[in-house]
Structure 1
Amino acid sequence: MTTFGYTMMTEQAGPRELVDHVVRAEAAGFDFSVTSDHYFPWLDTQGHSPYAWSVLGAAAQATSRIPLMTYVTCPTFRYHPAVVAQKAATVQLLSEGRFRLGLGAGENLNEHVIGGGWPSADVRHEMLAEAVEIIRALFGGEYVNHRGTHFDVESAKLWDVPDPVPPIGIAVSGRQSCKLAGELADLAIATEPKRSLVTAFQESGGAGKPRVGQLPVSYDPDRDTAVKRAHDQFRWFGGGWKVNSELPGPKSFASATEFVRPEDVAQSIPCGDDVEAFVEAVRPFVEAGFTEVALVQIGGDTQRDFLQWAEKRLLPALREL
């Protein structure tokens, strides 16, 4: 049976608000939660980008049941993989075993801030594979020394190692990343409801492992308001990750989506308060073989209303899928 999650979208709310939102999502009955990890929002109108790992630490203390997950962290540019291992282990301990470490090859939008340039996707995947190797070694609790193509680790050791260690997920968008995830990860992460991604992941070693998808939605009793908000803050979403990962900043995303119309956005993002429309938007993920689907409610100041509506109407309908 597919389970349904809630997204703490760090690009559209401040840290205290994000913690309040996930507390309410737990109370509303969501099965799990995920958290974006950005240095920039995609568009200026989103207006936020607090440090996701501080938010996760606070969320771990403020909640008691709902699982937490990064969706996703890049362990190769802003963060060294040895530091990611320490952060993930700490959040797993704080949450008493409710954390999953979602990893990805990164976006230029966030990783350019360290001034190291932006290599090709092939190189980024090489770096990600090496980072996963380092993280798993450190999860073993022993001293780690590593001399690699992209990273060095000098006599590192995690002194607080959780049991169990966090499962590792890898974001997939094509055959190469699916192969990487199938071979190295405990679960796959995606933003597109493509059966081909699930199949490629399973054929590469991911058979029987969870597949987590994510879908933006724009709830509002007034559909026109919902469409306007989705266009204002999420029109970048239709570009796909192969394009989005290359753009360097919010102004680039604004330029790339200059001619995207509100009606274009409404074709791919359910808007309004028609429960059936939201269910039908989720259905492709279920039919493609995703075992979990996380929803993103667009608009930082709309979360409380969305969560109340989701508890009463949306979640019961989704669970009938």
Structure 2
Amino acid sequence: MSKPLKFGYKASNEQFAPTELLNYGVLAEEHGFDSVFVSDHLQPWRHDGGHAPFAMTWLGALGARTERITMGTSVLTPTFRYHPAIVAQSFATLGCLFPGRVVLGMGSGESMNEVPLGVEWPDGKERFARFREAVKLIRQLWSEERVSFEGDYYTTDKATIYDRPEQPVPIWLASSGPAATRFAGRAGDGWITTSGKDPALYTDTLMPAIAEGAEKVGRSISDLDMMIEVKVSFDHDRDEAMRATHFWGALGLSAEQKQGVEDPVEMQRLADGLSVEQTAKRFIVSTDPDEHVASIKRYLDLGFNHLVFHAPGPDQAKFLKLYGEEILPRLRSL
């Protein structure tokens, strides 16, 4: 049986200060969104106007201000800034405070969040190995007492997470390549990826990989929560919808352009060199609700059941109202 269809709001902590972002999370619940997922950054994509509140503290505040939404990280890295045991402890506490409402979304990380703290950024093979080991350790800490763990990267000696929720916190794993996606299918309760890339990446690489990973442990993708962050810019004024994407110009940079850039000042300089037409390429930009729905439906047809909308503009209250009134009802009618 397929998972229920849900629509969420991406709370971009790289763009908004903690209190302002918290108010947007509350508004998302009021406007009918099913979930709120927050990014976890030490440093934002831009220096001027950038923010980076601590995601786990912020989630506790969001849970206290809301009643029904699912909330979690999209995504957190459990391998450098945080020891996996600290991640296990923090999300166990959130799960105790807000039973059935918390998701731990994890990925292998961005160098800009780790290198400034003195981390020597390893190659992809090591990052993936650390990530797999971290997932194993977190699950063990949640299921066993006095965990003595001897891994290649992490060690614990009779460690215990004393306060664990009765209802386990789901772990959703993020990826954009085939190996990590197969791992998400094997080891995750859900999978997270992002929109706006070459359609063939989803149809020819990622969807087959998640299915293959799930099948290796006797599951299918219908057993997983399939989440995709969908980048949308919706406004009744098309020029305003286009201009709104400028803050997120870093998303329009190629992997080669961003490689080795850990300084938000330099990332901002590179992003500001792009035109609005270039920064808008990763987003669904339209003034027409039906055009938004048609573009979003492609991801539903692929098998995603949990769509989290990332809007780039400064007026998030306006976005939440417009999307809640004009887009979500159309999507639910599908």
Query: 2:209 corresponds to which residue?
Result: 200
Gap change, CA 1:246 and 1:286, over 3 Å in 2: farther
Paired residues of 1:141 and 1:159 also in contact (CA < 8 A): no
Q: Distance in 1 between matches of 2:291 and 2:263?
A: 32
Cα distance in 1 for partners of 2:258, 2:29 equals 31
Alignment of 1:11-160 (within 5 A): 11-160=14-163
Give the TM-score, by structure 2 length. 0.89
**Counterpart position of 1:309:** 322
Matched, 1:253 2:267: yes
Query: For residues 51-83 of structure 1, what are the alpha-carbon distances to aligned partners after superposition, in whole Å with 9 as ceiling and x for unaligned?
Result: 111110001111110000110000000000000
Percent of paired sites with the same residue = 34
Are residues 213 and 55 of structure 1, via their aligned partners in 2, closer, same or farther at CA, if it must alter by over 3 Å? same
SS for the counterpart of 1:38 is coil
- Deviation (angstroms), 1:287: 2.2
User: Judging changes above 3 Å, is the alpha-carbon distance between structure 1 residues 242 and 144 closer, same or farther for their aligned structure 2 residues?
Assistant: farther
Q: 1:187 aligns with which of 167, 187, 190?
A: 190
- Equivalences for residues 169-318 of structure 1 within 5 A: 169-192=172-195, 194-195=202-203, 196-205=205-214, 207=220, 208-231=223-246, 233-239=247-253, 247-299=261-313, 301-318=314-331
Provide the TM-score with structure 1 as the length reference. 0.93
Letter in 2 for 1:253: M
* Aligned AA (1:290): F
How far is 1:221 from its partner? 3.1
Count of aligned pairs between the two proteins: 319
How far did 1:270 drift? 2.6
Offset at 1:21?
1.0
Distance across 2 between alignment mates of 1:74 and 1:19: 22
1:173 Cα deviation from its structure 2 partner:
0.7
Cα distance in 2 for residues equivalent to 1:277 and 1:20: 29
Q: Deviations over 1:143-163 (max 9, x none)?
A: 111121111112211110001
CA distance in 1, matches of 2:323, 2:40: 24
Partner SS for 2:333: coil
Q: Deviations over 1:182-227 (max 9, x none)?
A: 2211111101361331221111126221210001222333221221
1:212 maps to a residue whose letter is M
What is the CA-CA distance between 1:282 and the residue it aligns to? 1.6
Shift of 1:176: 1.0
How far residue 255 of structure 1 moved from its aligned partner, in angstroms, is: 4.5
| Contact kept in structure 1, 2:85 and 2:137, CA below 8 Å | yes
Q: 1:131 to 1:251 in 2, by over 3 A?
A: same
Cα 1:241–1:73 change in 2 (3 A) is: farther
Q: Is the 8 A contact 2:73 2:105 kept in 1?
A: yes
Deviations 1:266-311 (A, max 9, x none): 3431335321232233223112221111001213x41111111122
Stretches of 4+ aligned residues off by more than 6 angstroms: 240-243
Cα displacement string for residues 133-179 of structure 1 (whole angstroms, at most 9, x for unaligned residues): 11001101411111211111122111100011211111111111012
1:240-270 residue CA offsets vs partner (Å, 9 max, x unmatched) = 6797575312234234435432112334313
2:149/2:157 contact within 8 Å kept: yes
AA aligned to 1:226 is: A
Deviation at 1:312, TM superposition (A): 1.4
User: Structure 1 residues 202, 242: closer, same or farther in 2, change over 3 A?
Assistant: farther
2:76 and 2:150 map into 1 onto residues whose CA distance is 23
- Cα gap change, 1:217/1:46 in structure 2, threshold over 3 Å: closer, same or farther? farther
Q: Distance in 1 between matches of 2:240 and 2:272?
A: 20
1:76-113 CA-partner distances (Å, limit 9, x unpaired): 00000000000111111121220010010000011113
The aligned amino acid for 2:319 is F
**Structure 2 vs 1, CA of residues 32 and 225 (structure 1 numbering), >3 Å: closer, same or farther?**
same
- Counterpart CA distance in 2 for 1:21 and 1:294 is 14
* Whole-angstrom CA distance in 1 between matches of 2:244 and 2:159: 46
Query: Which blocks of at least 5 consecutive residues in structure 2 are unaligned?
Result: none
Of the structure 1 ranges 58-67 and 220-229, higher mean CA displacement relative to structure 2 is found in 220-229
